[in-house]
Structure 1
Amino acid sequence: MALIGVFDSGVGGLSILDEALRQLPDHDYLYFADSANAPYGERSPEWIAQRSLSICQSLADAGCQAIVVACNTATAEAIQHIRATLQTIPIIGVEPGIKPAALQSQKGLVGVLATEATLKSDKFNALLGTLPGDCRFVKQAGAGLVPLIESGQLHAPETTALLAQHLQPMRTAGIDTLVLGCTHYPFLMPLILNLMGSSVLIVDTSQAVVRQLARQLETHRIPIEVVGKRSLLLLSTADGARLHSMAMQLLRSDLAQFHIEFKTVDPERAEL
């Protein structure tokens, strides 16, 4: 079995981890939440790139045979640099599913809810430039949502009100497809569906990301040899116990087959 590292600015990447535990349960996992420094969407591109590389280097040093950068902002700002530095292991990133959204939209009106950093990134706008010109994208930064999710306020009135404010321009525009461009946002799915209605298609790329991880594991000939119970180690730069509590609340996978541990790591050094 492989040791797979999953990294995010906070708890958002748990949505990717959850899908990985479902699709690829026969591996060990190490989840790193840089919650002491979340949200990344409000940081400078230079800071995001350096911080993301530092954490991924630590994951590689800890023995991870593949790393999922489960953060749209970190992927947009740092994935190329990370891959150039860590050339011997597969690095899988995430990005807003604007291409499948454009293909599936019947009206050619697609909403994109993402962080400010993702929406402004060269990677996102380069991808946007490759799509058909007859599709209109209504872009909205979800400022303030990540801290609320990080603090566990998924159903708080404040969260509902802020989400409604961010989604209003898309509702006014009449979009029929909505892209969730941050891995934190799938945890708000019940609120999003309630606010947007069942007629709006929601695009979340978690399944596609894990399928790509599976392909990379096969390409790099990383074997699957299950011996005893698999392990899941949860690391946080803020509070390991809180990350564990959030994981138990948010993960829907069968966790009985995993030996789960958690700890807090130094937020300055990001060493495991």
Structure 2
Amino acid sequence: MIGVFDSGIGGLTVVKALLEQVPGHDITYLGDTARTPYGSKSADTIIRYSINNTGFLLRKGARLIVIACNTASSYAFEAVREQYHLPVFEVIEPGARQAVERSRRLRIGVIGTRATIASGGYERAIKALRPEAKVVTAACPLLVPLVEEGWIRKAETAMIVRKYMHPLKTMQIDTLILGCTHYPVLRKVIQRKIGARVVLVDSANAIAQRVGHYFNTHPSDGPQNDRPGRLKIFVTDTADQFQRSARLILGRSVHIELADL
């Protein structure tokens, strides 16, 4: 079973991509809605939360962990892997690799939470692949709360996105990494404000492809039957908005349970 966690609703974009990429696998998702957002927390706190979340998913039967949070991937990936000896996947490197492959002129923008941008994780990953790449980053701290509140089509959201995109447009980027799993929910408005010629890279799809490749090369770790995979969703705090947003992202109604962390 695949265990996936994020600070809130955004990681369901990764779940959606996994359902398409590895449809026969059971998935358990934990949205840490009681402690969201992670982007304003210290590195030590992010690591503690991530280890705590992973422990919960292991108790539910997970044998592989996907950190569907760019902030947690930036700070907690190594700590989680050292604490629990099992396959752990993060979103930074797959997203960086896909951006490098798709960029025409290696002028790559990255948007994310304050913590993700401050970590420099995407810059390091991109430069490791292509040292000559020009990387422009921008922290967008208001976007996660807007997604969590369900303000997807509000005029205020479009105005805020336009303000965040303006400096990136002036730098003439050709590729933009959506460096937070909440951001694909705002993909349409981001594309409008950054411009149609800029390629958007969704780290959710990138990491789902990486997990799919893992199971292709490790078939014994996959399901041993042909039934459809089951999805369970847990949150650390109840919220009606989570249910509505989950339906919007996944395209179906889901049952949500309260996590006993």
Same fold (TM over 0.5): yes
Structure 1 pair 228/102, CA: closer, same or farther in 2 (3 Å)?
Answer: closer
Residues 1:251 and 2:250 aligned together:
yes
- Are 2:47 and 2:76, in contact at CA under 8 Å, matched by a contact in 1? yes
Equivalent of residue 203 in structure 2, options 205, 212, 215: 205
Q: Cα RMSD over matched residues?
A: 2.1
Unaligned 5+ segments in structure 2 are: none
Residues 224-263 of structure 1: CA deviation (Å, up to 9, x unaligned): 23465643211111216543332111114xx59xxx4311
User: 1:219/1:240 Cα in 2 relative to 1: closer, same or farther (>3 Å)?
Assistant: farther
Give the equivalent residue in structure 2 for 1:264.
258
Matched, 1:235 2:229: no
Task: Name 1:145's counterpart in structure 2.
Answer: 143
Give the TM-score of the pair, scaled to structure 2. Answer: 0.90
Structure-2 residue corresponding to 1:90: 87
Shift in Å, 1:125: 4.6
CA distance in 2, matches of 1:167, 1:64: 38
Tell me, yes or no, if the aligned pair for 1:90 and 1:216 is still in contact at 8 Å.
no
Per-residue deviation at 1:98? 3.1
Q: TM-score, normalised by structure 1?
A: 0.87
Match of 1:116 in 2: 114
Number of residue pairs matched by the alignment: 259
Instruction: Report SS of the residue matched to 1:75.
Output: helix
2:58 pairs with 57, 60, 71, which one?
Answer: 60
Check whether the contact 2:96–2:122 (CA below 8 A) recurs between aligned residues: no
Residue 11 of structure 1 is matched in structure 2 by: 9
The partner residue of 1:154 within 152, 155, 177 is 152
- Partner Cα distance (2:136, 2:46) in 1: 25
CA contact (8 A) 1:101 1:177 kept: yes
The structural deviation recorded for 1:160 is: 0.9
Q: Which moved more, 1:133-142 or 1:234-243?
A: 234-243
% identical equivalent positions: 32
**1:12-31 equivalent positions in 2, closer than 5 A:** 12-31=10-29
Q: Which residue of 194, 197, 215 maps to 1:196?
A: 194
Query: In structure 2, what residue type is equivalent to 1:239?
Result: T
SS of residue paired to 2:247: helix
Letter in 2 for 1:86: Y
Question: Which of residues 179, 182, 186 in structure 1 aligns to 2:180?
Answer: 182
Task: Supply the distance in 1 between the matched residues of 2:19 and 2:41 (Cα, whole angstroms).
Answer: 30
